[in-house]
Amino acid sequence: MKTTTRDEWRVIVTLKPRTPADLGLTGLSDLAEFIACPVEPITVSVLPRRLGKLSAGMSVPDDVMSSDIDGSYRRRCDEIAAELRYRPQVAEVTVTCTETHSCSHCGLAWEVLAAEHVHDLRQDEFSTAGEPNCCDKAIAEFRTEQGIEVHGEGVVAYRHPDRPGVVLCREHGYPWFAQPLTSDDLPDGGVCAYKRSRLLGECGRDVLAVEAGERV
């Protein structure tokens, strides 16, 4: 699943100075004959005060001050924009932020398969445009949401391609392009021997639970 984080909230202000005073260039009449204002607009960024900044030298984490950090920064930027929008030297005001998209499963940057690359960079014959390409869990989740069935009818598990005695569940066996198995191939049942990590150990899922209605 794609997750989105937002930070670096700011107000982009486009200025079109009409007089030297708009630039703060005042009090020079005794020294300067003429001050030319810029012809092209000037763009500046206005950053909102941090939510957790209480005073000079004193601050707390933003989540102490608000349970909706994005919303609070957005409202603060909107207040700044409203304050600046109707000033004579201001041509345009825009509130923006930096968005970062990542995968909720693996934490990598969220990237999807473009339509023009389906045949060149696809994971397998089931790949379609819009499919994430970061990890197997994200791919499986996308295909479930899209109603794309990648397991053959009656397939409950897979046999490890290099270790015939090892059975893998549908989640962990499919990415290996292993041999599909039905319940008839497993009269004594079986559990998934996929090793997730040294800490978590083997998956241990009862592969016949698929027939009993478990969704994987």
* pLDDT score recorded for residue 77: 96
Q: Which residues pair with 202 in a beta bridge?
A: 195
Angle at 35 between CA 30 and CA 37, to 5 degrees: 155
Length of the chain: 216
Q: E strand or H helix at 119, and its extent? A: helix 118-121
Residue 90: count of CB within 10 angstroms of its CB: 16
Residues 6+ apart with CB under 8 A from 165: none
Give, in degrees to the nearest 5, the angle at Cα 176 between 172 and 177. 120
Best CA proximity match to 129, nearest among 144, 118, 143, 141: 118
Task: Write down the pLDDT at residue 149.
Answer: 67
The string of pLDDT tens digits covering residues 40-76 is: 899 999 999 999 988 888 889 988 899 999 999 999 9
For the record, the structure tokens of 194 come out as 């996929």
Phi, psi dihedrals of residue 99, rounded to the nearest 5°: -105, 135
Strand, coil or helix: what is 210? Answer: helix
Task: Please give the pLDDT value at position 123.
Answer: 62
User: Which residues are bridge partners to 44 per DSSP?
Assistant: 13
Three-state DSSP state, 95:
strand
Contact 89, 15 (CB under 8 A): yes
Name residue 125's beta-bridge partners.
Answer: none
pLDDT score of 152: 65
Residues in the chain where the model's pLDDT stays below 70? 121-125, 149-153, 174-178, 196-200, 210-216
Neighbouring residues of 39: CB distance < 8 A, sequence distance ≥ 6: none
